[in-house]
Amino acid sequence: MDTVDHRHLGSDRLAAALKSGFHRVIEEQDELNRINVFPVPDSDTGTNLSLTLGSALGVLDREFKHLGSLLAALADALLDGARGNSGAIMAQFFQGVSDATGDLSRYTTHTFGKAIEQGSEYAHDAIAEPREGTILSVITAFASAIRQQAVDQKEERFDVVLPAAVDRLRQALADTTGQLEVLRRAGVVDAGAKGFVTLVEGAMHFLVDNRVTPRPAVAALEDVVAVAAGADEESEFRFCTECIVTGADIDRRKLREDLGELGDSLVLAGTKRKAKIHIHVDEPEQVFELAGRYGTVSAEKADDMHRQTHSSHDARRKFAVITDSAADIPDEDMERLDIHMVPCRIHFGDRSFIDKVSITNEEFFAEVERNPDHPKTSQPAPGDFRRQFQFLATHYADVLSVSLSAKPSGTWQAAVSAAERVNAPGRVHIVDSMNASTGQGMLAVLAAECAEAGLSLEEARSVLDTQIPRTRTFALVKDLNFAVRGGRVPGYVKPVADLLRITPIIRTFPDGRVTNGGFLFGRRRRINRFARFVVDKSVVEGPMCVSIAHALCPEDARELADQFQEELPEIKRMTITDLGSALGVHGGPGTLLAATMPWYPLAASDQRD
């Protein structure tokens, strides 16, 4: 005699079944990453699906009286947490299931079939250019199998309908290999499709056999995960861009048409009140500006797919290096050493930008000059760190994150919090640079050069432990107006400084503080005297590295570089780059910055010098 009512499905059992299915996908994320070759061979489908489903696990732990309220909360959580193409499609599928369920307190096989059918329709509608051989194919097969039994044949038992539907799902998954040429060449099934099938299998096993898949622990590291099977091409576009649009009546058809002109791999999920955009583009800011015409934009994200793809194929390095956008690093070093970056956020009033992605350094300072709203910067959310940590820890045994000094910002703590929540084979290590701007940037470059030279993670950390206390950063603030506008300096200080012809210097200290560190009296030969101040306060003897950054004053930067050549006996490397927002927000246009660090003889450095 049955102890479970197999003719009906209520909110408690559905929540438990979905939780089991979600856990199974998270458990299989490494395999899903390994076979991910479509639409972009970036080996992150498993990571994105895990982050998407993981963001909604809390909903499944709550109690709901009705199916409708459970599924409405679940769909909303999935929409907010959706990552990547497959994650957005999965969120839209559950949105369709939720809308079809309405106020139902429990499912019959017939109403369940209708809900799955509408979920399939929503998933297809979310895609600008639906393709066979993807997650859409298995969703269609699932809806068709349920409908055939529950609606057409009027089968009333879930323990009969679900196993038969899963058999059909598995066949549809196997068929994807022959439906897309990229899958056939790689000899794999579609990763997103396999993720959906894995979810349904986990839920079915619970409902039919009461088999529970517990939440998986972090997998033990055996080998660095293999590169994506058969992946040999990069996407035409560079940034995987996402955001959420909230409005009263979003015209999703027109929004999809407008977005379609900007890039490819477009997925538009959600409802008329909240829509999740996923698209591959070269200019993320165009997406955010366009979305802003339809409502309030939030949760902006832009991941560099080209750098991710390169990392997933690079088996030479023993660890990956990542930093936050407070670090100012020349573009050539970012590309040469494959340094990853988590962007901070910049806010001018109610308008927000992703630092160094949707706004360049030059554009930032131009906006500072003309915008009456002084900018505010905010650290990356732990979720921004976690997403990139998760990806890198899937492909490397270790990930080294070189953070902005913990004293003036919560960035370090956000990175630590994110690292603790990563569920991937690799280990994430957070290092406080005790610096900012080019000082932090030089340390990130050094860490990446250690990786390039073949050093282990432990050896690289030892190098950084030696160099961090000896790295100093100094910023010469030309105009105190911007520090006053930002509230960092009291208003009465500026007229006093102008009267006494004082130019303040901001600097880092060994304990990680970033604060006022001295003054220059008088305005004559300002750059010459700043160079001498830097040399006097640096703790470098012998060969050294110097990094200069400027805020729209390249001539001053070159003059400073010439002065250092005269003042310092042996400069092994000198770089000049644009100043970013981390210190630039306080100094404004005209700010000049220099950082010094002892030269560390690595193979990569030797070859370059």
Task: Give 22-73 as a DSSP string.
Answer: HHHHHHTHHHHHHT--SS---S-HHHHHHHHHHTTHHHHTS--SSHHHHHHH
CA separation, residue 579 to residues 294, 311, 355 (Å): 33, 27, 12
Residue 310: the pLDDT is 60
In the three-class reduction of DSSP (H, G, I as helix; E, B as strand; rest coil), residue 601 is classed as coil
Does the structure show a pLDDT above 70 at 2? no
- Which residues make Cβ contacts (< 8 Å) with residue 177, sequence separation at least 6? 133, 183, 184, 187, 188, 189
Please report where in the chains the tokens 């160099």 appear, as a residue: 467
Burial class (CB in 10 A: 0-12, 13-18, 19+), 420: exposed
Give mean pLDDT, residues 240-263.
89
Residue 605: the pLDDT is 44
- Which residues make Cβ contacts (< 8 Å) with residue 396, sequence separation at least 6? 224, 311, 317, 318, 319, 320, 426
283-317 pLDDT per residue, tens: 999 999 999 999 999 888 888 887 766 655 455 68
Upstream peptide bond of 589 is cis (omega within 30 degrees of 0): no
Does the structure show a pLDDT above 80 at 41? no
Q: What is the mean pLDDT of the chain?
A: 86
377 or 575, which is more confident? 575
530 or 303, which is more confident? 530
Residue 310's CB is within 10 A of a number of other CB atoms, namely 14
For residue 241 the two structure tokens come to 């861009």
Strands 472-476 and 592-598, how do they pair?
Answer: antiparallel
CA separation, residue 565 to residues 470, 494, 560 (Å): 20, 33, 9
Angle at 511 between CA 541 and CA 596, to 5 degrees: 30
Residue 246's identity, in one-letter code, is: T
Does the structure show a pLDDT above 50 at 222? no
496-524 pLDDT per residue, tens: 777 778 888 889 999 999 888 888 887 78
* Dist. CA 407–CA 334, nearest whole Å: 25
- pTM greater than 0.85 (yes/no): no
